[in-house]
Amino acid sequence: MVKPMSAEEGAGKAAAATPAAAPEPKKGGGVGRKILYVLLVIAALVVVAYLSIGVTVSETTEGTSYPFTTTYDVLFPSGEVVRIGNMELIAIPLDDKVTLSINKEPKEIAKGETKEVSQRHARIAVLGMTAVEFDFRIQATYLGKVGDRARFYLAFQTSQQVWSFLIDRLLPGNIQARPV
């Protein structure tokens, strides 16, 4: 048999059956939003650091060894000035040879022949601080004329291991270059 409830018991059960007040929403975002902000700050710093990369090229000392090589297949525009570091290069291509002016000193290179273009010292800075310094030598192999452009293999030989994206910073925008 079911026992009837007293008024006090009924009021207690009714109070328990009413839903609790909804919690107040959190202010200022959660953990996900804070992680997103941190990632955005890191990405901005990486972009600023990349855009601030500066390359300074100067003379090198004799007797440096160059055990590391990165080679590019390059198309030089005919008769236009190309700046690699602080060197000024101008290529006048013919089918079987090219006249390559290096800082206003012409050199003739026959098709298939390799000649040293330059030996230099590079200092690469990020956010104004030196990141890496190395000596490098550029060897040019003339591959022939492509349209009105001179095609070369440019071998960048370095005194220490250097990331290829840093060597890419030495190459100007007015040439077509791709790693080989």
pLDDT, residue 68, reads 93
Three-class secondary structure assignment of the chain: CCCCCCHHHHHHHHHHHCCCCCCCCCCCCCHHHHHHHHHHHHHHHHHHHHHCCEEEEECCCCCCCCCEEEEEEEEEEECCEEEECCEEEEEEECCCEEEEEECCEEEEEECCCEEEEEEEEEEEEECCEEEEEEEEEEEEEEEEEECCEEEEEEEEEECCCCCHHHHHCCCCCCCEEEEC
Q: What is the pTM of this model?
A: 0.65
Residue 26 pLDDT: 57
Q: What is the pLDDT of residue 140?
A: 95
Which pLDDT score is estimated for 89?
93
| pLDDT value of position 14 | 52
Give the pLDDT of residue 106: 94
pLDDT at 111: 96
pLDDT at 110: 96
pLDDT at 96: 93
pLDDT, position 165: 74
Predicted local distance difference test score (pLDDT) of residue 97 = 95
**Tens digit of each residue's pLDDT, the chain (180 residues):** 556 565 555 555 555 555 556 666 555 567 888 899 999 999 998 888 777 777 777 777 777 889 999 999 999 999 999 988 778 999 999 889 999 999 999 999 999 999 998 888 888 788 888 888 888 899 999 999 999 999 999 999 999 998 877 777 778 888 888 988
